Amino acid sequence: MVERFGRYDRTLEPGVHLLKWPMEREAGRVGVRIHQLDLHCETKSKDHVFVDVRVSIQYQANSNFLFEAFYSLESPTRQLTSQTLNVLRSNLPQMDLDDIFSSQDSIALELHRTLNGNMNKYGYTIQHALLTRIHPNDHVKQSMNEMEASKRMKEAMPHKAEAVKIECVKNAEARAERAYLNGVGVARERRAIAKGMRDVVDSVNDSFISTVSSKGVMDLLVLTQYFDVLTSLNGTGSMSWQEKQDAENAVERKGKMANSSLILNYMPATVQQLQRTARECFGGVTEDTIEVENLLDIS
């Protein structure tokens, strides 16, 4: 900017120029590059939450209005600061905190339109007005996070409960199926035992007699069951291979062996006493004969 006798005379473009000193002098220079002004404003929202808002204003001098840009304002940054704070403190208190976060674009657009309209008459153009940060109080942020976490947990609880329900139902169905299959296995085992006894009786009948007394059948059945009980006292006689492995692994994890002892009166008289007790429970001692074909009904 060139002044002649203290009064504005003309504007010089970039390049080499001659001034008629002392009549003319350089009053100053106006840059047309884009400048950025970073501001922060603390204000309160409609729901009484204090918010620290960071704003970046990008502005430049209008090349067609350099005279206004140089002579109109002493400090354009102070003017921009006052205008920006005024716009923010008049608009943000009318909005809730959630609306401030969701309406950043509209707030920035309103700020740009207001600043551009006010600064154009001073020879400046606002290129961009950006809200770079909206920072509420730390306690408010923590509360908002807890509210959102509680909301999502509430939405997840029905799904979790449904999963637990399905797991319980499936476990119950598995236990029922296991019990059913165990029953089927026990029934087949007893039928196989009865069939084996029948085969033995048939062999005896073919060699000696055609019938066998009920006492002999009951004695043989009680004796067989007695041996099975002795076998199962070890704790693994009736377990499957997988159950035995699980039991051994459990003992190894505990780091000690599970010792158990049972003292029995193992004498021939014991077997006879068991046979006599069984016959008394089935209605007393009889000498009636049982056909070989009816042995399967005993099980």
Local confidence band at 292 (pLDDT 50, 70, 90 cut-offs): very low
Does 55 score more than 90 pLDDT? yes
Determine what percent of the chain is predicted with pLDDT higher than 70.
68
CA dist 177 and 223 (Å) reads 32
CA dist 256 and 247 (Å) reads 12
Considering only residues 67 and 227, tell me which one the structure prediction assigns the higher pLDDT: 67
Per-residue b or e along 17-28, where b marks 16 or more CB atoms closer than 10 Å to that residue's CB = eeeeeeebeebe
Maximum Cα interatomic distance, the chain, rounded to a whole number of Å: 155
Determine what percent of the chain is predicted with pLDDT higher than 90.
15
Local confidence band at 295 (pLDDT 50, 70, 90 cut-offs): very low
Local confidence band at 290 (pLDDT 50, 70, 90 cut-offs): very low
- Residue closest to 222 by CA, chosen among 169, 176, 275: 275
Does 210 score more than 60 pLDDT? no
Mean pLDDT throughout 246-254?
Answer: 61
Considering only residues 297 and 266, tell me which one the structure prediction assigns the higher pLDDT: 266
**Cα torsion 263, 269, 275, 277: sign:** negative
Contact predicate 119/49, CB 8 Å: no
**pLDDT recorded at residue 247:** 62
- Collapsing DSSP states into helix, strand and coil, what is residue 109? helix
Lookup: tokens for 15: 């390049």
Residue 168: Cβ-neighbour burial (10 angstroms; 0-12, 13-18, 19+): exposed
Tell me what percent of the chain is helix, strand and coil, each rounded to the nearest 5.
Answer: 60, 15, 25
Bond into 22 cis (ω within 30)? yes
Considering only residues 115 and 22, tell me which one the structure prediction assigns the higher pLDDT: 115
- Collapsing DSSP states into helix, strand and coil, what is residue 284? coil
Considering only residues 6 and 207, tell me which one the structure prediction assigns the higher pLDDT: 6
pLDDT in tens, 145-161: 788 788 888 888 888 88
Confidence (pTM): 0.49
pLDDT in tens, 89-139: 888 888 888 888 888 889 999 999 999 988 888 889 999 999 988 888 878
